[in-house]
């Protein structure tokens, strides 16, 4: 007998509940790609999954807890993709470009990352938040170990780089300005202003500076 439980069927065993929870997450991710963060509605998700809205809260206490879980999954997915594409030795610029492009390619990771600290984490129970922080620590360690080889840094230096890249990524992507007006209709000085705040060149330029600065420092004592 198959252990798969339809999303709109009652889950009874622990295994069935885990499968139902994953099915809700899969549906939520698809819906997030359609609606984005602001328009995402638990009521609409319930309609899409064919379950009562209250049933969703059996698996996720708040909308933000659902987002936190989606973020964790996207973080792990991004780190796996990024690590798989790291080469044995990379320039600082190639590393920064790869990090930016793989993060941007995941339609869930960045939109949730930039809202994580100031929005999402404020409506999540402390035990669940602690669990999430441990997921983050684990992924940072995994990425740092591979980054140390790619950038020819110590593990401690690579860990510092990875953490700083996360902060820089949040700041740089929030500078993107996407006006509804066609740039051709804008004055040249305004076009230049918008172009100067494009997140990719801002991120890569400053990421290279950070990596080179860390490399220039003496390795920390063991």
Under the banding of pLDDT at 50, 70 and 90, the label for residue 4 is very low
Residues 102 and 118 in one domain: yes
Residue 20 forms part of a structural domain:
yes
What are the pLDDT digits (tens) for 148-176?
Answer: 999 999 999 999 999 999 999 998 877 65
Dihedral of CA 134/138/144/147: which sign? negative
Under the banding of pLDDT at 50, 70 and 90, the label for residue 5 is very low
Residues 31 and 69 in one domain: no
Residue 187 forms part of a structural domain:
yes
Residues 148 and 137 in one domain: yes
The two three-digit tokens of residue 169, written as one number: 């990524």
Under the banding of pLDDT at 50, 70 and 90, the label for residue 196 is low
Q: Which residue has the higher pLDDT, 179 or 148?
A: 148
High-pLDDT (> 70) share of the chain, %: 83
Instruction: Give the residue carrying structure tokens 């939520």.
Output: 28
What pLDDT does residue 218 have? Answer: 61
CATH number assigned to the domain comprising residue 8: 1.10.10
The two three-digit tokens of residue 55, written as one number: 């049933």
Residues 193 and 116 in one domain: yes
Q: Residue 41 belongs to what domain range?
A: 1-59
Instruction: Give the residue carrying structure tokens 């940072």.
Output: 140
Residues 78 and 169 in one domain: yes
Residue 222 forms part of a structural domain:
no
Residues 78 and 181 in one domain: yes
Q: Which of 219, 222, 217, 208 is nearest to 96 (CA)?
A: 208
Count of domains for the chain: 2
Residue 177 forms part of a structural domain:
yes
Alpha-carbon span 155 to 159, nearest angstrom = 6
Statement: residue 92 has pLDDT above 70: yes
**Mean per-residue pLDDT for 86-110?**
94
What are the pLDDT digits (tens) for 41-74?
Answer: 999 999 999 889 999 999 999 999 999 999 999 9
SS3 at position 155? helix
Under the banding of pLDDT at 50, 70 and 90, the label for residue 15 is confident
Q: What is the DSSP letter of 121?
A: G
Whether the CB-CB separation of 94 and 204 falls below 8 Å is answered with: no
Phi, psi of 118 (to 5 degrees): -95, -15
**Residue 66 CA to its chain's centroid (Å):** 14
**Mean per-residue pLDDT for 104-122?**
93
């Amino acid at each position: 007998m198959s252990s798969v439980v339809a999303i709109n069927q009652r889950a009874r065993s622990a295994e069935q509940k885990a499968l139902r929870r994953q099915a809700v997450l899969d549906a939520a991710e698809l819906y997030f790609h359609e609606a984005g963060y602001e328009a995402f509605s638990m009521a609409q998700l319930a309609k899409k999954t064919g379950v009562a809205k209250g049933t969703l809260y059996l698996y996720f206490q708040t909308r933000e807890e659902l987002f936190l879980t989606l973020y964790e999954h996207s973080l792990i997915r991004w780190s796996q993709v990024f690590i798989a594409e790291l080469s044995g030795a990379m320039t600082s610029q190639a590393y920064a470009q790869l990090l930016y492009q793989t993060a941007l390619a995941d339609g869930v990771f960045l939109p949730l990352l930039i809202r994580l600290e100031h929005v999402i984490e404020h409506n999540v129970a402390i035990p669940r938040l602690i669990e999430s922080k441990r997921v983050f620590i684990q992924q940072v360690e995994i990425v740092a170990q591979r980054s140390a080889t790619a950038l020819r840094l110590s593990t401690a230096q690579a860990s510092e780089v990875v953490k700083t890249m996360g902060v820089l990524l949040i700041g740089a992507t929030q500078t993107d300005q996407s006006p509804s007006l066609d740039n051709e209709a804008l004055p040249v000085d305004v076009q230049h202003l918008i172009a100067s705040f494009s997140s990719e060149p801002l991120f890569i330029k400053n990421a290279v500076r950070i990596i080179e600065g860390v490399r220039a420092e003496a390795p920390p004592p063991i």
